[in-house]
Amino acid sequence: MSDLARHAVEEPRRTEILELLGDAPAGLSAPELAARLELHPNTVRWHLGRLADAGLVASRPVHRGRPGRPRIVYEATGGSAGGADGYRFLAEMLASAVAASGDGEATVERAGRAWGRHLVDGAPPASADSADAAVARIVAVLASHGFAPRRSDDVIEMHHCPFHDLVDTYGRVICGLHRGLLAGALETLDAGVSLQRLEPYPAPGVCRAHLAVD
């Protein structure tokens, strides 16, 4: 087990999560884990993000057979962190290549916008009836991908970055990707809400997305 994996399981709650997932061959969603642990789902998602970073859990969508977002379930990977180390190495190589290109930041922001549109594509019509509904959908998308978001009025705080260990070196690339993702998703929902600015780490471990409501 790598140092990253050992550090991840030092938190007792994460050990409990791994035990629950180990007893659930079909996987469990964050709300299901939260109910069993008597924790808030966003707290569970934050722990799941740390475990995913260490390669100890993986997520997959389960389609419901009806319109709307698929259910995201989490599974234990068997305790090996080698896969995560490999993916982190791949992410670092790709980030360094993009950073070295002349228009790297613009390139990743365009990619982020495309993925943002993809993540909310096919949303039920009611999801974009109001600005509040659109922001709630963005928060749900961020939560399902491990950002541990919390909304306060027109600000979304993200308490976990899935690529936090690359931000110090490749912050412009990583933050550009996230900025594009948020902007693209909000544009697609078309509910009179846009991304005003992304504020990386105004407080330790927290990024803030400032929204503008028409």
User: What domain count does the chain have?
Assistant: 2
Q: Report the CATH number that the domain containing residue 134 is assigned in CATH.
A: 3.30.1380.20
Q: What is the pLDDT of residue 81?
A: 45
Do 201 and 108 belong together in one domain? Answer: yes
CA 204 to the chain's CA centroid: 18
Do 12 and 110 belong together in one domain? Answer: no
Q: Does a structural domain hold residue 50?
A: yes
3-state percent helix, strand, coil for the chain, nearest multiple of 5: 55, 20, 25
Q: Does a structural domain hold residue 207?
A: yes
> Beta-carbon neighbour count of residue 111 at 10 Å?
16
Do 116 and 180 belong together in one domain? Answer: yes
Cα 149 to Cα 159: distance, rounded to the nearest angstrom: 6
Q: Does a structural domain hold residue 93?
A: no
Contact 146, 158 (CB under 8 A): no
Cα 183 to Cα 114: distance, rounded to the nearest angstrom: 10
Q: Which strands sit side by side in the sheet containing 206-213, from one edge to the other?
A: 149-152, 155-158, 206-213, 193-203
Q: What is the pLDDT of residue 82?
A: 46
Characterise 155 by phi-psi region: left (phi > 0), alpha (psi -120 to 50), beta (else). Answer: beta
User: In angstroms, what is the C-alpha Rg of the chain?
Assistant: 17
Characterise 70 by phi-psi region: left (phi > 0), alpha (psi -120 to 50), beta (else). Answer: beta
Contact 113, 179 (CB under 8 A): no
Nearest to 188 by CA among 106, 103, 112: 112
Structural domain that includes position 23: 3-80
Do 107 and 204 belong together in one domain? Answer: yes
Do 33 and 106 belong together in one domain? Answer: no
Walk along the chain (214 residues) and give the pLDDT tens digit of each residue. Answer: 455 555 566 678 888 888 898 888 888 999 999 999 998 888 888 888 888 877 788 888 776 666 666 778 888 886 544 445 556 666 777 788 888 877 878 888 999 899 888 888 755 554 445 888 888 888 888 887 778 888 988 999 998 887 777 777 888 888 898 999 999 999 888 888 999 999 998 887 789 999 998 7
Do 12 and 54 belong together in one domain? Answer: yes
